[in-house]
Amino acid sequence: MNKIYNPKPETWSAILERPTKTVDDIEATVKGIFKEVQSKGDFAVAKYTSLFDGVSVPDLEVSQTEIATAIATISKELKEAIQLAKSNIEKFHAAQKTNRIIVETIEGVNCWQEKRPIQKIGLYIPGGTAPLFSTVLMLAVPANLAGCSEIVLCSPPDKNGNINPAILYAAYLCGVTKILKVGGIQAIAGMTFGTVTIPKVYKIFGPGNQFVTVAKQLATQFGVAIDMPAGPSELLIVADDTAVPAFVASDLLSQAEHGTDSQVILVSTSKQLIDAVAKEVQSQMEVLPRKTIAEKAIANSKLIFVENDTIALELINEYGPEHFIICTKDETFYIDNIANAGSVFIGNYTPESAGDYASGTNHTLPTNGYAKNYSGVNLDSFTKSMTFQKISEKGIQNIGSAIEIMAEAEGLQAHKNAVTLRLKALENDK
């Protein structure tokens, strides 16, 4: 692990640089597959599923029989754990519902705003070395609460042409309307253009590898929205001597095991803690099943010592972490002043994995510094705000003159006429 002491602010950008890769070659591949799926539909999807996943899938859609079989294979303990997580996620996201906002801006001018669901939602759920059934909960639960009428889920099949049973169980539990055995670029392309089997959607959610990330960004060029730009998972912990080194190390490793390009950072005002955490990381990593993956991520990790909390906060806000853990004596200082973070975890007994699974908050979060300008997925991610207005005779008289003056100043005579005609009609009625 790389220990850095009192880095100067002008070096922060280099020290905190993300392990992102060039997308030039990836983009060419993605565009080629998009073009083929757009023109050849399911045929192209099947071709690339065979090429990338090494399996031929006769029927892309998961049948009810397959879902029932998968449910039967899930242990009682896992079902109960998933149900608990679903309940907490529902409670937290249901609390985010807002009522219609009605304002009379001036006598006779009534304006209001309402939230309406995005009708067709696409969910991408990775199914490789870590099948993320928890992400099904994080995306399908708020989609259902928002009232989305179509929830389409795509996940890559295994070598036997099946989707992980826990993914199918979570999808069934959360009311997903269609499940498809398709992953990677071809899944995003299928949901972007629509095929005979894969419905076209209005917005695509979910994490994925660098190919999926670029594919989602390309989808926006074809009128499909996405949840957010995304990159490798990341975690930053700020800690002092009040933190438990073993806990800090376990959190760093929980993110490091996501992938070799995951980034984990510890910022501390204690050199003793940094040394203790480094030893704990090496000790705990030895027994991890995903040690090889974690090892590569940890090799690029940073342990940064700074003199005080003020400097630490400035560095953290500059970085804008996806996940931010606070384990300090003065936790209120960080809670009150953090400006850029996807999700914040406070205290020695709040592991980041709680947010990944069962506390209730959403784990689909902005990475790569996008926490500076993007929110994590929430209930509003599945809705759009619509404004309404109704103006009475008195109302158009109250604002009509202002509209006429402004429209004329902009040189838009027809805009002015639309008001003038109405005002004259009211004058004639007197």
CA distances from 234 to 229, 240, 244, 249 (A): 14, 20, 20, 14
Residue stretches of the annotated binding site for NAD(+): 124, 186, 209
Pick out the residues of the known binding site for Zn(2+): 255, 258, 356, 415
Closest CA to 211 of 25, 342, 345, 417: 25
Location of structure tokens 């070395």: 129
Where along the chain do the CATH 1.20.5.1300 domains lie? 392-428
Mean pLDDT of 239-262: 95
Residue ranges for the known binding site for substrate are 233, 255, 258, 323, 356, 410, 415
CATH topology of domain 24-226: Rossmann fold (3.40.50)
pLDDT one-digit tens code per residue, 264-289: 999 999 999 999 999 999 999 999 99
Give the predicted TM-score (pTM) of the model: 0.95
Is pLDDT above 90 for 19?
no
**pLDDT tens-digit map of 361-410:** 999 999 999 999 999 999 999 999 999 999 999 999 999 999 999 999 99
Q: Report how far residue 26's alpha carbon sits from residue 210's, in angstroms, rounded to the nearest whole number.
A: 8
Q: According to DSSP H, which parts of 210-288 are helical?
A: 210-219, 245-256, 271-285
C-alpha dist (Å) from residue 239 to 20, 81, 266, 294, 327 = 26, 30, 7, 21, 5
Site of tokens 């009150």 = 336
In three-state secondary structure terms, 86 is helix
Tokens (6 digits) for 330: 């003065």
Detail the residues annotated as belonging to a binding site. 124, 186, 209, 233, 255, 258, 323, 356, 410, 415
Quick check: helix, strand or coil at residue 161?
coil
- Please give the backbone phi and psi of residue 274, each rounded to the nearest 5 degrees, phi first: -55, -45
Q: What is the CATH number of domain 392-428?
A: 1.20.5.1300
Q: What is the assigned CATH class of domain 2-20+231-360?
A: alpha beta
Residue 261 CB neighbours (<10 A): 19
Q: Round to whole Å and give the CA distance between 166 and 327.
A: 33
Q: Euclidean distance between the first and final Cα of the chain, in Å?
A: 83
Q: How would DSSP label each residue in 282-339?
A: HHHHTT-TTHHHHHHHHHT-EEEE-SSHHHHHHHHHHH--SEEEEESTTHHHHHHH--
User: Quick check: 201 pLDDT over 70?
Assistant: yes
User: What residues are annotated to the active site?
Assistant: 322-323
d(CA 156, CA 182) in angstroms, rounded, equals: 5
Q: What is the pLDDT of residue 127?
A: 84
Q: Any bridge partners for residue 181, and if so which?
A: 155
Start-end ranges of CATH 3.40.50.1980 in the chain? 2-20+231-360, 24-226
- Cα angle: 27, vertex 28, 31; to 5 degrees: 80
For 280-320, where are the E strands, in sequence order? Answer: 302-305
Q: What is the pLDDT of residue 163?
A: 96
Is residue 387 within 8 A of residue 105, CB to CB? The reply is no
